[in-house]
C-alpha cells in the first residue's frame, strides 16, 4: 500500500466505495487521516463499515464543514454532463476535490529513496485505444529484462494498492480520461499518448474536453520524456506544444500511418516493420509480423509506443525485441481463443467504440464479424470504409436490427451471443477469422466487456467441443 502523505489528523471525505474508493480510504487511514466514506449503495457502505470506516451522508447540510478534501471515484461526474450533487456541494464549500491518482503522485516518493542507487520511475499511459495493451506490454518488457516493475491504475492493481517502490523500480500506470481529468497531481517521468478518437463525450462536454483531459497528463505533469502518437491532429498538436524545436528528443513521435522524417526521435511501423530514427538516421528495425500477441496495425502502434517508452529507460533494441516475441496478449484484446479447422477465433470484446473496432477489422484477411451492443454517440460511419475484409456480420444486442441497418456488409441479426457464434461457426471456412469486435458498449446485455468476452469464449469452446 502507498501511504498518503500530508493528511495526518485531517478529515477526508471519500465518495464512491468501489475498488479505488476503498483503496483510497485505506491509504488515507494509513497516512493518519480519518476517512469519511459515502456511497449511495447501502451494500457498499456496509462493506466500508465492516473495515472500520465511518460513513457520513455527504448530501446533508454542513457535511463539509470540517473536511479537508473530497476524494472522488472515477465513475462519478465532477463537471459534465452535470456535477454530482456531493461534488457540487464540496466545490461550493471551497473543499478541494481530488482522486486516487492525485493522492498517488503526491505520496509515491518517500525519504527511503535517498538510499536507493537508482531512483524509481513512473510511466503513465493514456489515450483512447491501446492504452491497456501498451501498459501491459511495457510491464512485460520490463519483467522479461529483469527490471523490478508494478502495473497499476486502470489495469492491474489500484494505484494506492501497489507496494512501496524498490530500488530502480518502474511503475507502469494506465490512466483513463476520468482519472487524468481530476487528479490534482500528475508527475510521471515518462508519459505516453497513444491516440485519440471520440469516446466519453458526454462526460467531458465534447471532443475538446475529452482531449483536454488527456492533455493534462503532459501539461500539468511536465514529464521528462513524452511519447506521442501523431496519427491524429490532436497528437500532432500535443507533440508540437511539448517540443522546443525539431531536434528536441524529449518528445518521441510515434506513427503507424506514415514514415516519420525529421531530426528528432521517431518510432514508426510500416508493413509490419518497426523502425527507430534519431537525428535523421535509422537506429533500429524490428519485424513485428511473427509476433502473435500483436496482430494488426493497431497493435503495431502499441508496440511502437511501448518500444519508445522502454528505449527512454535505456533498454537496448534487441533486448526489447526479444521481449516482444514472448508477449502473450491481453484477455479481450485481439485474444486468440481457439484455432480449429483452419478457422481462428479472436476475442476483441474491448473494442467498445467504432475506432477500435475498425482497427481490429484491419488486422485479419477474411472475417466473420460478431458486432453490436449499446451503440455510442457518433454512429457507425467510421466503419463504412473499414469492412473490406468482412465476409459477413452477425449482429447481437437489443437493438441489433437498427445496428445492422448502418453496416455496409451482409448481415444476420442474431441478437444473442449464442446464436451469433453458432451461425459464424457453421458458416466459417478455412482461412476465416471469427472476430468479436462489437464497436459498442456491453451494458445492454452484460455487466461489462469482460463478461461479454467470456461469453464469446465459452460459446466458441462449447461449439468446437460439441
Known binding residues: 127-133
| Strand partners of residue 340 | 343
Distance CA 252, CA 241 (A): 13
Q: What b/e readout covers 352-366, taking b as 16+ CB neighbours within 10 angstroms?
A: bbbbbbbbbbbbbee
Distance CA 72, CA 77 (A): 9
Distance CA 26, CA 105 (A): 16
What single-letter DSSP state applies at residue 464? H
Distance CA 446, CA 79 (A): 28
- For residue 383, the SS3 value is helix
Burial of 461 (0-12, 13-18, 19+ CB in 10 A): middle
**Residue for cell digits 481462428?**
344
Q: Which residues fall within 8 angstroms of residue 365, CB to CB, at 6 or more apart?
A: 389, 431, 433
| Strand partners of residue 121 | 170
| Strand partners of residue 102 | none
The Cα angle at residue 451 between residues 449 and 452, in degrees rounded to 5:
60
Please give the annotated binding residues for ATP, written as ranges. 127-133
Neighbours of 163 (CB within 10 A): 12
The Cα angle at residue 426 between residues 421 and 432, in degrees rounded to 5:
85
Distance CA 318, CA 40 (A): 52
Distance CA 252, CA 300 (A): 16
Q: Which residues fall within 8 angstroms of residue 245, CB to CB, at 6 or more apart?
A: none
Angle between helices 131-144 and 317-325 (to 10 degrees): 110
Distance CA 439, CA 372 (A): 6
- For residue 33, the SS3 value is coil
Neighbours of 82 (CB within 10 A): 10
**Residue for cell digits 476524494?**
71
Q: Which three cell numbers stand for residue 172?
A: 507502469
> Do 366 and 392 touch, CB atoms closer than 8 A?
no
Q: Which residues fall within 8 angstroms of residue 90, CB to CB, at 6 or more apart?
A: 13, 58, 64, 67, 70, 97
Amino acid at each position: 500500500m502507498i501511504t498518503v502523505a500530508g493528511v495526518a489528523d485531517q478529515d477526508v471525505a471519500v465518495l464512491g466505495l468501489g475498488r479505488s474508493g476503498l483503496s483510497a480510504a485505506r491509504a488515507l487511514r494509513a497516512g493518519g487521516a480519518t476517512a469519511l466514506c459515502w456511497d449511495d449503495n447501502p451494500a457498499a457502505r456496509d462493506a466500508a463499515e465492516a473495515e472500520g470506516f465511518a460513513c457520513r451522508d455527504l448530501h446533508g447540510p454542513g457535511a463539509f464543514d470540517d473536511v479537508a478534501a473530497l476524494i472522488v471515484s472515477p465513475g462519478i461526474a465532477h463537471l459534465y454532463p452535470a456535477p454530482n450533487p456531493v461534488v457540487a456541494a464540496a466545490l461550493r464549500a471551497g473543499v478541494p476535490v481530488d482522486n486516487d491518482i492525485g493522492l498517488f503522485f503526491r505520496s509515491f516518493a518517500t525519504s527511503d529513496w535517498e538510499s536507493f542507487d537508482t531512483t524509481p520511475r513512473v510511466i503513465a499511459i493514456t489515450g483512447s485505444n491501446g492504452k491497456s495493451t501498451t501498459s501491459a506490454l511495457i510491464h512485460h518488457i520490463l519483467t522479461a529484462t529483469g527490471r523490478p516493475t508494478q502495473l497499476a491504475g486502470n489495469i492491474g492493481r489500484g494505484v494506492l494498492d501497489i507496494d512501496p517502490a524498490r530500488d530502480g523500480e518502474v511503475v507502469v500506470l494506465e490512466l483513463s480520461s476520468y482519472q487524468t481529468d481530476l487528479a490534482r497531481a500528475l508527475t510521471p517521468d515518462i508519459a505516453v499518448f497513444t491516440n485519440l478518437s471520440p469516446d466519453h463525450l458526454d462526460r467531458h462536454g465534447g471532443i475538446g474536453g475529452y482531449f483536454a483531459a488527456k492533455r493534462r497528463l503532459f501539461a500539468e505533469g511536465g514529464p521528462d520524456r513524452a511519447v506521442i502518437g501523431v496519427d491524429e491532429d490532436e497528437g500532432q498538436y500535443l507533440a508540437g506544444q511539448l517540443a522546443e524545436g525539431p531536434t528536441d528528443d524529449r518528445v518521441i513521435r510515434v506513427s503507424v500511418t506514415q514514415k516519420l522524417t525529421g531530426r528528432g526521435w521517431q518510432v514508426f511501423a510500416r508493413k509490419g516493420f518497426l523502425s527507430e530514427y534519431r537525428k535523421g538516421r535509422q537506429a533500429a528495425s524490428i519485424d513485428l509480423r511473427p509476433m502473435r500477441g500483436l496482430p494488426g496495425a493497431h497493435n503495431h502502434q502499441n508496440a511502437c509506443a511501448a518500444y519508445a517508452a522502454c528505449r527512454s529507460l535505456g533498454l537496448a533494441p534487441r533486448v526489447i525485441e526479444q521481449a516482444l516475441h514472448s508477449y502473450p496478449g491481453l484477455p479481450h484484446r485481439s485474444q486468440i481463443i481457439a484455432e480449429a479447422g483452419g478457422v481462428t477465433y479472436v476475442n476483441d470484446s474491448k473494442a467498445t467504440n467504432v475506432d477500435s473496432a475498425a482497427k481490429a477489422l484491419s488486422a485479419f484477411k477474411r472475417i466473420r464479424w460478431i458486432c453490436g451492443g449499446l451503440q455510442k454517440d457518433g454512429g457507425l460511419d467510421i466503419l463504412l470504409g473499414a469492412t473490406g475484409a468482412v465476409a459477413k456480420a452477425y449482429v447481437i444486442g437489443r437493438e441489433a436490427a437498427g445496428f445492422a441497418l448502418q453496416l455496409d456488409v451482409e448481415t444476420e441479426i442474431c441478437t444473442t451471443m449464442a446464436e451469433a457464434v453458432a451461425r459464424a461457426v457453421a458458416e466459417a471456412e478455412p482461412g476465416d477469422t471469427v472476430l468479436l469486435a462489437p464497436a459498442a458498449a456491453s451494458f445492454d446485455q452484460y455487466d461489462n466487456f469482460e463478461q461479454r468476452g467470456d461469453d464469446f469464449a465459452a460459446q466458441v469452446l462449447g461449439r468446437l467441443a460439441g
